[in-house]
Chains A and B, each alone.
Chain A
Amino acid sequence: MTATTPDALATGTQAAWRRWLRRHGWTFGVWILLVVLVAYYSTLIPAFGSFQLASIINNGAPLVFLAAAQAVIVIAGGIDLGVGGMMVLTNVTAARFMEGQPLATTLVIGVIILLLAAAINAGVGWIITTSKVPDIVITLGSLYFFQGLALAVLPNPGGGTSEGFRWLFTGSPRGIGSNPYPAAILISVVILIVAWWIGKTRSGLSLYAVGSDKTAAYLSGIRAARVKIVSYAVGGALAAMAGLALTAIAGRGNPTAVGGNATLNSVAAIVLGGVALTGGIGSVIAVVPAGLILFFLNPILTAMGVDPNRAQIVQGVLIVVVMMVTGLIEWRRRRRV
């Protein structure tokens, strides 16, 4: 009966395990790396406790959200240099309008900012699909545009937000404390919703389809332009989450923050998280530990006594080494086939 069904196609525990490892191995590996780094960090400093843990999660949150934003867009075959600018813009907008408002009002303002950011970035996606100008060019423009707009919204660092809003992102009304749970829960909820959408629903899977093989996606009845615009919209909203997190952490807005740096960090995080820059491959869940690791590298190196100015060298080497190792694994796998 199974004459034409090759063994490789059949279900089997060993085959299933190997397949799981191949598909989710990267995600698994990055989480392990994070745990190892945290364990190592705890041996470096005398008093490792919930304060340090909260500090990592709270302060790593903006990069995690930004990396998720970049991941969604890159999976669909694009790249958004403007996410950093969007983060700065939403940070200052939130700080300006939330200042002196009660929690309920700040939450409403937060939601409005998320929706506006999605709409604005959808516009960026629309410009890319209709003009056919490469993503990298248009979004370089949107980066400067958002950064400039941020200065128009709030010319100098300032503004504020409600204590409840700060607690939501940091577990403390003052933005600093030993409670890692609210931030961890917030990150988990947002990322799991995005992961469910992109991995289980038709509209989410369309992002992978378009990023993987545009022709096959078209033949499957997917409208590539619309999918791309959706990816930019979701990316915009996630970048706004990063901006809101920043507002909660600092308790104010900073229009002089360099969005370009944040963008580059988001790209580094998704590369470390196993998202292929060519599109179609990657997991939103894996960019969470990747973002945290990138953020966390600095305190570790400081604790190790490395000059903070040299930390970037380590970051750079880490990314290149990780990419080379995976390139090697992929090459060996191909050769065996």
Chain B
Amino acid sequence: MTEASQALLSAQGIAKSYGPVVALRSADATVQPGEIHALLGANGAGKSTLVKILSGVITSDAGTTSVHGEPVRLRKPTDARSAGIATVFQDPSLIPDLTLAQNLRISRLSPSDVMPWLERMNLGHIDLELLVSDVPLAVLRLLDLARALAHDPQLLMLDEITAALTTDQAEYVFGVMRAWKEQGRSVLFISHRLGEVLEMCDRATILRNGANVADFDLAGVDEAQLVTAMLGEDLVKELSEEAAAESTPTAEAAVAAVSFDTPVVLELKDVRLRDKVNGVSFQLRQGEILGLTALEGQGQDELFQLLSGDHRPSSGELLVDGRPMNARSPYDAIRKGLVLVPADRQQALLPQRSVRVNLSTPLYNRASKWFTLAGDETERVDRAVDRLDIDVRAGSQVQRLSGGNQQKVTIGRWLASGFGTLLCFDPTRGIDIQTKAQIYDLLRELAADGSSIFLYTSELREIPLVCDRVLVMYNGRIVHEQDAKTATEEVMLTSAHGLEEART
């Protein structure tokens, strides 16, 4: 008890759900004065949700927060600020259409408040009359930091601040963090770069599935131990149980069916896009499910935009069935057989229309004589509905379906129209476990029928269940490739952090 009352920040039992999706089950976090504290966890563990709650951006469903032993209620960002908590969020929180000086003004700051900090970060020469939209992202992160520091908070929260920074810029940030610590203030630090965490932080709180699983001193700890802590020791057992529950007989057969004799349907040769995708090459064979995993923001979004025809690569070759794709829009990509199932179902569906209308939208491209559909669309849609086992009780408006059923409809659209390669971008995000299993089965069945699937997922445990082969992406490159059956979460997470060649 005495420790908790001395703590600078103490959050107990923080919980938050978005509808049926639980983001935080029950998280505790304690930060001592004069401490740099790391908040760690795999994707979707609830780090960002916790940060948003502690900074008053969203309100928690349950739990208490106290600063210096005094309970505080964080209902809006200004509450957190007056409680002495300042945050640098993952996305810049500067207004793009205003100048830097005007942005300071609306945060009730003057240039003289931030200048000492900017000088420390070698930005003393920056012209505050610049429009935010003209300033590079990395500089905006540092400006965000300077702005947070100017509020003179007791606790500074940094959510992935180093992700967009160069090495020397990151060093400035570390220098500022050290100085802050020397003043007896505290920092809550979130980073995917475990090396930084070990170098900078004193203690770490580890979140897993929306609850904290460990809180320990970082002295003498190495990266491998952190990865193990993020994954959990009971994981292996858990995984094998889930595999037994979820795998289907067809899965085995399908995995066996992929061999090196089958034709390559999609091939990338040294594909690049600005500084996001830095030379990606791989082959996808017919009937194969190729998995891709990565931490957030490693270029996977851009890679899928390239594949779905939303962007054209800056350089490199993109071959579909051995021929260059040259897609100028998703329409071209779809005609070549590359179809996308996005993570955000709102991007794919017409929420106010019926399941049947949604399933038949891709068929509009086939409209034949006199603007009528090809004629067999009713049949095709019926087959898709049967196959997907969609609960059509709320079928008159897709928005009334559950998230899982909506995702089935987005896949079903392509079943109705036919496709060559299915691109799935985190298709099971925010979906309940049972529907997830159904989607896995569906993907395996499709592969068994000869379709190829390129699947990005942020959930590592999906990889061995669904995929034949897995690629791990880091900083715009494929850093690891492995047979999915033998891929352990530890290996994938280690390489996803860009650490030394994974131990297999």
A-side interface residues toward B, CB under 8 Å? Answer: 1-6, 8-11, 16, 19, 23, 202, 205-206, 208-209, 211-213, 215-223, 280-281
Is the beta-carbon distance between B125 and A219 smaller than 8 angstroms?
no
User: For chain B, which range describes its interface: under 10, 10 to 19, 20 to 34, or 35 or more residues?
Assistant: 35 or more
A-B contact pairs, 25 of them (CB 8 A): A4-B169, A5-B122, A6-B139, A8-B134, A9-B123, A11-B127, A19-B129, A23-B131, A202-B106, A205-B106, A208-B102, A209-B95, A212-B95, A212-B98, A216-B93, A216-B94, A216-B96, A217-B95, A217-B106, A219-B89, A220-B93, A220-B94, A280-B95, A280-B97, A281-B97
Cα of A152 to Cα of B105 in the assembled complex, Å: 45
Do residues B135 and A9 form an inter-chain contact, with CB atoms below 8 A? Answer: yes
Which of B95, B106, B136, B172 is A6 in contact with, Cβ under 8 Å?
B136
Inter-chain contacts of A218 with B (CB < 8 A): 57, 77
Taken residue by residue from 149 to 178, chain B's Cβ proximity to chain A (1 for < 8 Å, 0 otherwise) reads as 000000000000000001011001000000
B111 at the interface (CB under 8 A from A): no
| Interchain CB contact under 8 A, A4 and B122 | yes
Distance between B127 CB and nearest chain A CB, rounded to angstroms: 5
B286 within 8 A of A: no
Whether B77 contacts A219 by the Cβ 8 Å rule is: yes
From A214, which residue of chain B is reached at the shortest CB distance? B95
Q: Are A11 and B96 in contact (CB under 8 A)?
A: no
Total inter-chain residue pairs, C-beta < 8 Å: 94
**Complex alpha-carbon distance, A2 and B118, angstroms:** 12
8 A Cβ contacts from B44-93 to A: 57, 76-78, 81, 89, 91-93
With the chains together, A222 CA to B135 CA distance in Å?
Answer: 22
Closest to A217 in B: B95
Report how far A221 CA is from B76 CA in the complex, Å: 8
Name, among B108, B123, B127, B131, the residue most crowded by chain A CB atoms within 10 Å (CB to CB).
B127
Instruction: Please give the distance in Å from B82's CB to the nearest CB on chain A.
Output: 10
Check A10–B125 contact: CB distance below 8 A.
Answer: yes
B131 contacts which chain A residues (CB < 8 A)? Answer: 19, 23
For the complex, give the distance between the alpha carbons of A220 and B93 in Å: 7
B135: A residues at CB distance < 8 A: 9
CB atoms of B126 and A220 under 8 A apart: no
A76, chain B: closest CB distance, angstroms: 12
Complex CA distance for A211 and B96, rounded to whole angstroms: 10
Among A11, A23, A208, the residue within 8 A (CB) of B95 is A208
Q: State the CA gap A6–B78 with chains docked (Å).
A: 33
B93 proximity list for chain A (CB < 8 A) = 215-216, 219-220
Residues of A within 8 A of B106 (CB): 202, 205-206, 209, 217, 220, 222
* Complex: A217 Cα to B57 Cα, angstroms: 11
CB distance A9 to B98 under 8 Å?
no
A208-B98, A212-B96 as given contacts; A221 in contact with B130, CB under 8 Å:
no
Bound: A23/B102 CA distance, A: 14
Cβ of B103 under 8 Å from chain A? yes
State in angstroms the CA–CA spacing of A124 and B81 once bound together: 32
